[in-house]
Amino acid sequence: MVEWVIDTASAEETNRLGRCLGQVIKEPAVLLLTGDLGAGKTCLTQGIARGLGVPESEPIVSPTYTLMNLYEGRLPLYHFDLYRLADPGELEELGMEEYLPGEGVAVVEWADRFDELCQSCLAIRICHRGPDKRTLHFCAVGSTGKMLLQALQSVWNQRD
């Protein structure tokens, strides 16, 4: 397990961090996001989508009536939001396991609402620190998760 803790001072900075993460993703991956309401999970996901090449013209919003939105980037982006998940059977119906990992990048908001274990993933917990300040705890599990986290750290530390 590899961990990384980083603070952001604004929504833009969290978005930028997400963008860097999206840019370093070259193969299917699973990103599990947790954190309270308004922590910044969707904000981070919006950056990830841009880094994956989803066009700026396409709004990235949390799925509301469905549990998953699909976006086309360099790899498909499966954006899950499990906040309204009432019963784990819904995930079976959705065939969620096929996305963990699937052909693309699964980003799961409220990932703590299901307890499926992934062999390899990047878990990201976002905590409120103030009106604009957040702390992001990254925890990489398995080889893909670790490679991703190392690539992200290196890109983030080299940015201007």
Ligand X SMILES: Nc1ncnc2c1ncn2[C@@H]1O[C@H](COP(=O)(O)OP(=O)(O)OP(=O)(O)O)[C@@H](O)[C@H]1O
Among 10, 66, 119, 143, binds ligand X (CB under 6 A): 10
What's the Cα-to-Cα distance from 159 to each of 2, 14, 46, rounded to whole Å?
22, 14, 19
Q: Does 42 bind ligand X (CB under 6 A)?
A: yes
**β-strand partners of 139:** 3, 123
* Helix, strand, or coil (residue 142): helix
The minimum distance between CB 119 and ligand X, in angstroms, equals 26
- DSSP code at position 61: -
Q: Does 38 bind ligand X (CB under 6 A)?
A: yes
CA distance 128 to 86: 26
Choose between 43 and 147: whose C-beta lies nearer to ligand X.
43
Identify residues 6-45 at the interface with Mg ion (CB under 5 A). Answer: 41-42
Please give the size of the binding site for Mg ion, defined by CB under 5 A.
4
Q: Does 62 bind Mg ion (CB under 5 A)?
A: yes
Buried residues in 43-55 as b, exposed as e (16+ CB within 10 A): bbbbbbbbbbebe
Which residues are at the interface with Mg ion (CB under 5 A)? 41-42, 62, 109
Which residues are at the interface with ligand X (CB under 6 A)? 8, 10-11, 13-14, 35, 37-43, 62, 83, 109, 132-134
